[in-house]
Amino acid sequence: MQYQVTALSGNGRRHLRLEAAHADEAAAQVRRMGLTVLAVRPRGSLSLAWPARRYRFPLTLFSRELLALLGSGLSLVEALQTLAEKESRSETRKLLTQVLAHLYEGESFSAAIAHYPDAFPALYVATVRASEKTSDLPEALTRYVAYQEQVEAIRKKVAAAAVYPTLLLTVGSLVAIYLMGWVVPRFSGIYADNLAQLPLGSRLLMAWGGFIQAHAHLVGLTLLAIVAAAVYALRQAPVRAAVSRLLWRIPTLGERLRVFQLTRFYRTVGMLLSGGIPVVTALSMAEGLLHPELRQRLASATRDIREGKSISHGLEQAGLTTPVALRMLRVGEKSGRMGAMMESIAAFYDEELSRAVDWLTRLVEPVLMVLIGLLIGAIVVLLYMPIFDLAGTLQ
Protein backbone atom coordinates (compact mmCIF):
# COMPACT_ATOMS: atom_id res chain seq x y z
CA MET A 1 0.00 0.00 0.00
CA GLN A 2 1.27 3.48 -0.82
CA TYR A 3 1.58 6.15 1.86
CA GLN A 4 2.07 9.90 1.65
CA VAL A 5 4.56 10.95 4.34
CA THR A 6 5.25 14.53 5.38
CA ALA A 7 8.68 14.81 6.99
CA LEU A 8 11.06 17.49 8.20
CA SER A 9 14.67 17.73 7.10
CA GLY A 10 17.36 20.33 7.54
CA ASN A 11 16.14 22.05 4.36
CA GLY A 12 12.48 22.22 5.40
CA ARG A 13 9.45 20.04 4.77
CA ARG A 14 9.50 17.10 2.37
CA HIS A 15 6.62 15.05 0.96
CA LEU A 16 7.46 11.41 0.23
CA ARG A 17 5.53 8.56 -1.37
CA LEU A 18 6.43 5.14 -0.01
CA GLU A 19 5.28 1.56 -0.39
CA ALA A 20 4.72 -0.12 2.99
CA ALA A 21 2.55 -2.73 4.67
CA HIS A 22 1.21 -0.25 7.22
CA ALA A 23 1.67 3.32 8.44
CA ASP A 24 4.20 2.46 11.17
CA GLU A 25 6.46 0.77 8.63
CA ALA A 26 6.27 3.82 6.33
CA ALA A 27 7.20 6.10 9.25
CA ALA A 28 10.11 3.82 10.16
CA GLN A 29 11.45 3.99 6.60
CA VAL A 30 11.45 7.77 6.72
CA ARG A 31 13.18 7.87 10.12
CA ARG A 32 15.92 5.63 8.75
CA MET A 33 16.56 8.39 6.20
CA GLY A 34 17.35 10.75 9.08
CA LEU A 35 14.10 12.72 8.77
CA THR A 36 11.51 13.68 11.37
CA VAL A 37 8.05 12.32 10.54
CA LEU A 38 5.25 14.88 10.77
CA ALA A 39 2.30 13.00 9.24
CA VAL A 40 1.56 9.66 7.55
CA ARG A 41 -1.61 8.96 5.56
CA PRO A 42 -2.65 6.42 2.93
CA ARG A 43 -2.30 7.79 -0.59
CA GLY A 44 -5.41 8.01 -2.70
CA SER A 45 -7.67 6.39 -0.12
CA LEU A 46 -11.26 7.54 0.18
CA SER A 47 -13.14 5.57 2.80
CA LEU A 48 -16.86 6.05 3.22
CA ALA A 49 -16.72 4.66 6.75
CA TRP A 50 -17.12 7.12 9.56
CA PRO A 51 -13.68 7.93 10.98
CA ALA A 52 -12.92 6.21 14.27
CA ARG A 53 -12.12 8.25 17.30
CA ARG A 54 -8.37 8.59 17.62
CA TYR A 55 -6.47 8.37 20.86
CA ARG A 56 -5.05 11.74 21.83
CA PHE A 57 -2.07 11.87 24.11
CA PRO A 58 -2.57 14.58 26.81
CA LEU A 59 0.60 16.44 25.90
CA THR A 60 -0.01 19.62 27.87
CA LEU A 61 -0.95 17.72 31.05
CA PHE A 62 2.06 15.44 30.58
CA SER A 63 4.36 18.45 30.22
CA ARG A 64 2.96 20.08 33.37
CA GLU A 65 3.35 16.92 35.42
CA LEU A 66 6.83 16.24 34.07
CA LEU A 67 7.82 19.83 34.83
CA ALA A 68 6.56 19.49 38.41
CA LEU A 69 8.46 16.24 38.98
CA LEU A 70 11.68 17.64 37.50
CA GLY A 71 11.29 20.70 39.71
CA SER A 72 11.05 18.46 42.78
CA GLY A 73 14.49 17.02 42.08
CA LEU A 74 13.71 13.78 40.23
CA SER A 75 15.77 12.80 37.22
CA LEU A 76 14.12 12.55 33.81
CA VAL A 77 13.96 8.74 33.92
CA GLU A 78 12.56 8.73 37.46
CA ALA A 79 9.96 11.33 36.50
CA LEU A 80 8.83 9.30 33.48
CA GLN A 81 8.69 6.13 35.57
CA THR A 82 6.50 7.93 38.11
CA LEU A 83 4.15 9.19 35.41
CA ALA A 84 3.90 5.72 33.84
CA GLU A 85 3.14 4.08 37.20
CA LYS A 86 0.38 6.50 38.17
CA GLU A 87 -1.27 6.52 34.71
CA SER A 88 -4.64 4.74 34.60
CA ARG A 89 -5.10 4.81 30.80
CA SER A 90 -3.46 1.87 29.11
CA GLU A 91 -2.59 3.80 25.91
CA THR A 92 -0.75 6.55 27.79
CA ARG A 93 1.02 4.08 30.11
CA LYS A 94 2.14 2.00 27.12
CA LEU A 95 3.49 5.07 25.32
CA LEU A 96 5.48 6.26 28.34
CA THR A 97 6.87 2.74 28.82
CA GLN A 98 8.04 2.73 25.20
CA VAL A 99 9.68 6.14 25.60
CA LEU A 100 11.49 4.82 28.71
CA ALA A 101 12.67 1.80 26.71
CA HIS A 102 14.31 4.12 24.17
CA LEU A 103 15.98 6.06 27.00
CA TYR A 104 17.34 2.82 28.47
CA GLU A 105 18.88 2.09 25.06
CA GLY A 106 20.88 5.32 25.33
CA GLU A 107 18.80 7.62 23.15
CA SER A 108 18.24 11.24 24.10
CA PHE A 109 14.81 12.34 25.26
CA SER A 110 14.15 14.20 22.00
CA ALA A 111 15.15 11.14 19.94
CA ALA A 112 12.96 8.88 22.10
CA ILE A 113 9.80 10.97 21.71
CA ALA A 114 10.49 11.56 18.00
CA HIS A 115 9.50 7.92 17.41
CA TYR A 116 5.90 8.85 18.26
CA PRO A 117 4.88 11.83 16.10
CA ASP A 118 1.16 11.31 16.80
CA ALA A 119 1.75 12.04 20.49
CA PHE A 120 4.70 14.43 20.31
CA PRO A 121 4.46 16.90 17.41
CA ALA A 122 7.53 18.19 15.61
CA LEU A 123 7.35 21.52 17.49
CA TYR A 124 7.59 19.71 20.82
CA VAL A 125 10.44 17.49 19.67
CA ALA A 126 12.37 20.49 18.31
CA THR A 127 11.88 22.41 21.55
CA VAL A 128 13.18 19.51 23.63
CA ARG A 129 16.10 18.93 21.25
CA ALA A 130 17.14 22.57 21.52
CA SER A 131 16.94 22.43 25.34
CA GLU A 132 19.27 19.42 25.41
CA LYS A 133 22.05 21.60 24.03
CA THR A 134 21.78 23.89 27.06
CA SER A 135 20.64 21.25 29.59
CA ASP A 136 17.58 23.34 30.39
CA LEU A 137 14.64 21.00 29.84
CA PRO A 138 12.39 22.60 32.52
CA GLU A 139 12.65 25.99 30.80
CA ALA A 140 11.73 24.42 27.46
CA LEU A 141 8.74 22.64 29.00
CA THR A 142 7.61 25.87 30.67
CA ARG A 143 7.83 27.70 27.35
CA TYR A 144 5.86 25.02 25.51
CA VAL A 145 3.15 24.82 28.19
CA ALA A 146 2.73 28.61 28.06
CA TYR A 147 2.52 28.43 24.26
CA GLN A 148 -0.16 25.73 24.38
CA GLU A 149 -2.16 27.63 26.98
CA GLN A 150 -2.17 30.74 24.80
CA VAL A 151 -3.25 28.78 21.71
CA GLU A 152 -5.93 26.96 23.70
CA ALA A 153 -7.23 30.24 25.14
CA ILE A 154 -7.77 31.61 21.62
CA ARG A 155 -9.45 28.39 20.49
CA LYS A 156 -11.81 28.42 23.48
CA LYS A 157 -12.65 32.07 22.87
CA VAL A 158 -13.64 31.39 19.26
CA ALA A 159 -15.56 28.23 20.23
CA ALA A 160 -17.44 30.06 22.99
CA ALA A 161 -18.41 32.82 20.56
CA ALA A 162 -19.88 30.22 18.20
CA VAL A 163 -21.99 28.43 20.82
CA TYR A 164 -24.92 30.87 21.03
CA PRO A 165 -25.34 31.43 17.25
CA THR A 166 -25.19 27.66 16.70
CA LEU A 167 -27.78 27.06 19.44
CA LEU A 168 -30.00 29.81 18.07
CA LEU A 169 -29.82 28.42 14.55
CA THR A 170 -30.53 24.88 15.74
CA VAL A 171 -33.53 25.82 17.89
CA GLY A 172 -34.95 28.07 15.17
CA SER A 173 -34.63 25.30 12.59
CA LEU A 174 -36.34 22.79 14.90
CA VAL A 175 -39.21 25.21 15.52
CA ALA A 176 -39.64 25.77 11.77
CA ILE A 177 -39.61 22.00 11.13
CA TYR A 178 -42.19 21.48 13.89
CA LEU A 179 -44.47 24.13 12.41
CA MET A 180 -44.18 22.68 8.92
CA GLY A 181 -44.49 19.05 9.97
CA TRP A 182 -47.23 19.22 12.61
CA VAL A 183 -49.00 22.60 12.81
CA VAL A 184 -49.37 23.31 9.09
CA PRO A 185 -50.96 19.91 8.27
CA ARG A 186 -53.55 20.52 11.02
CA PHE A 187 -54.50 23.85 9.47
CA SER A 188 -54.50 22.19 6.06
CA GLY A 189 -57.33 19.94 7.27
CA ILE A 190 -59.31 22.99 8.45
CA TYR A 191 -58.96 24.72 5.08
CA ALA A 192 -59.51 21.53 3.03
CA ASP A 193 -62.84 22.69 1.62
CA ASN A 194 -61.62 26.17 0.68
CA LEU A 195 -58.06 25.64 -0.56
CA ALA A 196 -58.85 27.26 -3.90
CA GLN A 197 -59.88 30.52 -2.20
CA LEU A 198 -56.68 30.77 -0.13
CA PRO A 199 -53.91 33.24 -1.05
CA LEU A 200 -51.10 31.79 -3.16
CA GLY A 201 -48.58 31.86 -0.28
CA SER A 202 -50.96 30.00 2.02
CA ARG A 203 -51.73 27.38 -0.66
CA LEU A 204 -48.01 26.74 -1.19
CA LEU A 205 -47.47 26.47 2.57
CA MET A 206 -50.34 23.98 2.90
CA ALA A 207 -48.96 21.94 0.01
CA TRP A 208 -45.53 21.76 1.63
CA GLY A 209 -47.05 20.85 4.99
CA GLY A 210 -49.12 18.08 3.41
CA PHE A 211 -46.09 16.71 1.58
CA ILE A 212 -44.01 16.66 4.79
CA GLN A 213 -46.81 14.90 6.69
CA ALA A 214 -47.32 12.31 3.96
CA HIS A 215 -43.62 11.58 3.57
CA ALA A 216 -42.39 12.24 7.10
CA HIS A 217 -39.92 9.34 7.16
CA LEU A 218 -38.49 10.24 3.76
CA VAL A 219 -38.11 13.91 4.73
CA GLY A 220 -36.48 12.98 8.05
CA LEU A 221 -34.02 10.61 6.41
CA THR A 222 -33.24 13.21 3.76
CA LEU A 223 -32.47 15.85 6.39
CA LEU A 224 -30.26 13.41 8.31
CA ALA A 225 -28.47 12.45 5.08
CA ILE A 226 -27.86 16.11 4.25
CA VAL A 227 -26.42 16.79 7.70
CA ALA A 228 -24.26 13.65 7.60
CA ALA A 229 -23.03 14.47 4.09
CA ALA A 230 -22.16 18.03 5.15
CA VAL A 231 -20.22 16.81 8.20
CA TYR A 232 -18.42 14.18 6.14
CA ALA A 233 -17.60 16.67 3.39
CA LEU A 234 -16.14 19.14 5.88
CA ARG A 235 -13.84 16.38 7.14
CA GLN A 236 -12.29 16.09 3.69
CA ALA A 237 -9.24 18.25 3.05
CA PRO A 238 -10.22 19.37 -0.50
CA VAL A 239 -13.65 20.53 0.71
CA ARG A 240 -12.16 22.40 3.67
CA ALA A 241 -9.66 24.02 1.32
CA ALA A 242 -12.46 25.15 -1.01
CA VAL A 243 -14.47 26.59 1.89
CA SER A 244 -11.34 28.30 3.19
CA ARG A 245 -10.68 29.90 -0.20
CA LEU A 246 -14.26 31.13 -0.30
CA LEU A 247 -14.01 32.68 3.17
CA TRP A 248 -10.70 34.34 2.30
CA ARG A 249 -12.35 36.13 -0.62
CA ILE A 250 -14.76 37.94 1.73
CA PRO A 251 -13.05 41.35 2.17
CA THR A 252 -13.28 42.01 5.93
CA LEU A 253 -13.41 38.40 7.06
CA GLY A 254 -10.49 37.45 4.81
CA GLU A 255 -8.26 40.08 6.40
CA ARG A 256 -9.24 38.89 9.89
CA LEU A 257 -8.39 35.32 8.95
CA ARG A 258 -5.04 36.46 7.60
CA VAL A 259 -4.19 38.28 10.84
CA PHE A 260 -5.32 35.25 12.87
CA GLN A 261 -3.03 32.94 10.93
CA LEU A 262 -0.13 35.37 11.16
CA THR A 263 -0.69 35.53 14.93
CA ARG A 264 -0.39 31.75 15.27
CA PHE A 265 2.62 31.81 12.96
CA TYR A 266 4.44 34.52 14.94
CA ARG A 267 3.71 32.82 18.26
CA THR A 268 5.04 29.47 17.05
CA VAL A 269 8.16 30.90 15.43
CA GLY A 270 8.80 33.07 18.48
CA MET A 271 8.64 30.05 20.78
CA LEU A 272 11.03 28.09 18.56
CA LEU A 273 13.50 30.98 18.28
CA SER A 274 13.43 31.49 22.06
CA GLY A 275 14.24 27.80 22.43
CA GLY A 276 17.33 28.10 20.24
CA ILE A 277 15.98 26.77 16.93
CA PRO A 278 17.62 28.40 13.84
CA VAL A 279 15.35 30.87 12.09
CA VAL A 280 15.12 29.00 8.76
CA THR A 281 14.24 25.75 10.52
CA ALA A 282 11.69 27.53 12.70
CA LEU A 283 10.01 29.08 9.65
CA SER A 284 9.85 25.71 7.90
CA MET A 285 8.34 24.02 10.95
CA ALA A 286 5.65 26.68 11.30
CA GLU A 287 4.59 26.76 7.64
CA GLY A 288 1.86 24.18 8.21
CA LEU A 289 -0.07 26.74 10.29
CA LEU A 290 -0.57 29.00 7.30
CA HIS A 291 -3.12 29.06 4.50
CA PRO A 292 -1.74 27.55 1.25
CA GLU A 293 -1.46 31.02 -0.31
CA LEU A 294 0.51 32.35 2.66
CA ARG A 295 2.57 29.16 2.68
CA GLN A 296 3.80 29.96 -0.83
CA ARG A 297 4.76 33.44 0.31
CA LEU A 298 6.62 31.97 3.29
CA ALA A 299 8.68 29.79 0.96
CA SER A 300 9.78 32.96 -0.85
CA ALA A 301 10.57 34.71 2.44
CA THR A 302 12.55 31.70 3.70
CA ARG A 303 14.58 31.71 0.50
CA ASP A 304 15.41 35.42 0.94
CA ILE A 305 16.39 34.93 4.59
CA ARG A 306 18.56 31.94 3.70
CA GLU A 307 20.35 34.18 1.17
CA GLY A 308 21.25 36.63 3.93
CA LYS A 309 18.41 39.15 3.99
CA SER A 310 16.94 40.23 7.30
CA ILE A 311 13.86 38.52 8.73
CA SER A 312 11.80 41.70 8.62
CA HIS A 313 12.75 42.35 4.99
CA GLY A 314 12.00 38.79 3.89
CA LEU A 315 8.62 38.67 5.61
CA GLU A 316 7.70 42.16 4.41
CA GLN A 317 8.49 41.37 0.77
CA ALA A 318 6.38 38.22 1.03
CA GLY A 319 3.40 40.07 2.50
CA LEU A 320 3.59 38.27 5.83
CA THR A 321 3.64 41.36 8.02
CA THR A 322 1.37 44.12 9.20
CA PRO A 323 2.52 47.69 9.88
CA VAL A 324 2.70 46.97 13.63
CA ALA A 325 4.43 43.61 13.14
CA LEU A 326 7.01 45.10 10.76
CA ARG A 327 8.06 47.79 13.21
CA MET A 328 8.32 45.29 16.07
CA LEU A 329 10.34 42.87 13.93
CA ARG A 330 12.85 45.62 13.15
CA VAL A 331 13.13 46.41 16.84
CA GLY A 332 13.68 42.71 17.57
CA GLU A 333 16.50 42.56 15.02
CA LYS A 334 18.23 45.53 16.59
CA SER A 335 17.90 44.19 20.13
CA GLY A 336 18.70 40.57 19.25
CA ARG A 337 15.48 39.38 20.90
CA MET A 338 13.57 38.26 17.84
CA GLY A 339 11.87 35.32 19.58
CA ALA A 340 10.47 37.46 22.39
CA MET A 341 9.45 40.16 19.92
CA MET A 342 7.47 37.69 17.79
CA GLU A 343 5.66 36.49 20.89
CA SER A 344 4.89 40.15 21.71
CA ILE A 345 3.44 40.61 18.21
CA ALA A 346 1.19 37.59 18.78
CA ALA A 347 0.07 38.96 22.16
CA PHE A 348 -0.74 42.33 20.54
CA TYR A 349 -2.92 40.76 17.88
CA ASP A 350 -4.58 38.45 20.41
CA GLU A 351 -6.29 41.54 21.79
CA GLU A 352 -7.34 42.62 18.29
CA LEU A 353 -8.66 39.14 17.58
CA SER A 354 -10.64 39.19 20.81
CA ARG A 355 -12.27 42.48 19.79
CA ALA A 356 -13.02 41.11 16.32
CA VAL A 357 -14.67 37.99 17.77
CA ASP A 358 -16.79 40.11 20.13
CA TRP A 359 -17.82 42.40 17.25
CA LEU A 360 -18.69 39.46 14.99
CA THR A 361 -20.70 37.82 17.76
CA ARG A 362 -22.68 41.01 18.38
CA LEU A 363 -23.37 41.24 14.63
CA VAL A 364 -24.25 37.60 13.93
CA GLU A 365 -26.60 37.04 16.87
CA PRO A 366 -29.16 39.77 16.01
CA VAL A 367 -28.96 38.93 12.29
CA LEU A 368 -29.76 35.28 13.02
CA MET A 369 -32.57 36.27 15.36
CA VAL A 370 -34.09 38.53 12.69
CA LEU A 371 -33.83 35.86 9.97
CA ILE A 372 -35.31 33.11 12.15
CA GLY A 373 -38.02 35.49 13.38
CA LEU A 374 -38.92 36.40 9.80
CA LEU A 375 -39.08 32.73 8.78
CA ILE A 376 -41.29 31.66 11.70
CA GLY A 377 -43.35 34.85 11.44
CA ALA A 378 -43.96 34.25 7.73
CA ILE A 379 -45.21 30.72 8.44
CA VAL A 380 -47.57 31.93 11.17
CA VAL A 381 -48.91 34.83 9.06
CA LEU A 382 -49.56 32.57 6.08
CA LEU A 383 -51.38 30.14 8.38
CA TYR A 384 -53.69 32.77 9.85
CA MET A 385 -54.13 34.97 6.79
CA PRO A 386 -57.28 33.12 5.60
CA ILE A 387 -58.78 33.53 9.09
CA PHE A 388 -58.03 37.24 8.96
CA ASP A 389 -59.66 37.47 5.53
CA LEU A 390 -62.71 35.60 6.78
CA ALA A 391 -63.00 37.88 9.82
CA GLY A 392 -62.84 40.93 7.54
CA THR A 393 -65.58 39.49 5.32
CA LEU A 394 -67.88 38.85 8.30
CA GLN A 395 -67.41 42.41 9.50
Write the single-letter amino acid at 326: L
Longest dimension (CA), the chain: 97
The CATH number for 136-395, chosen from 3.40.50.410, 1.20.81.30, 3.90.1150.10, 3.30.230.70, is 1.20.81.30
| In contact, 147 and 124? CB cutoff 8 Å | no
| In contact, 38 and 8? CB cutoff 8 Å | yes
Secondary structure of residue 106 in the 3-state scheme: coil
pTM for the structure as a whole? 0.61
Predicted local distance difference test score (pLDDT) of residue 47: 41
How far is CA 390 from its chain centroid?
A: 56
Q: What is the pLDDT of residues 90-103, one digit of tens each?
A: 888 889 999 999 99
Nearest CA-CA partner of 324 in 372, 263, 385, 391:
263
Segment among 25-39, 244-258, 357-371 with least mean pLDDT: 25-39
Q: Which residue spans within the chain are E strands per DSSP?
A: 2-9, 12-19, 36-42
Predicted local distance difference test score (pLDDT) of residue 395: 52
CA angle 313, 316, 321 (to 5 degrees): 130
Q: Which fold has domain 2-42?
A: Ubiquitin-like (UB roll) (3.10.20)
Mean pLDDT of 96-111: 90
Mean pLDDT of 352-367: 79
Asked if the model's pLDDT at residue 12 lies above 80, the reply is no
Helix H or strand E segment including 339: helix 338-394
> When comparing pLDDT for 241 and 183, which is higher?
183
Mean pLDDT of 23-52: 64
Predicted local distance difference test score (pLDDT) of residue 44: 52
Angstrom distance (rounded) from CA 63 to CA 144:
8
Predicted local distance difference test score (pLDDT) of residue 45: 46
Q: What is the pLDDT of residues 224-262, one digit of tens each?
A: 899 899 888 878 767 777 777 787 788 777 777 888 888
What torsion do the CA atoms of 352, 354, 357, 361 make, to the nearest 10 degrees? Answer: -130
Segment among 21-25, 132-136, 181-185, 299-303 with least mean pLDDT: 21-25
Please state the domain extents for the chain. Answer: 2-42, 59-120, 136-395
Angstrom distance (rounded) from CA 29 to CA 17:
11
| In contact, 212 and 219? CB cutoff 8 Å | yes
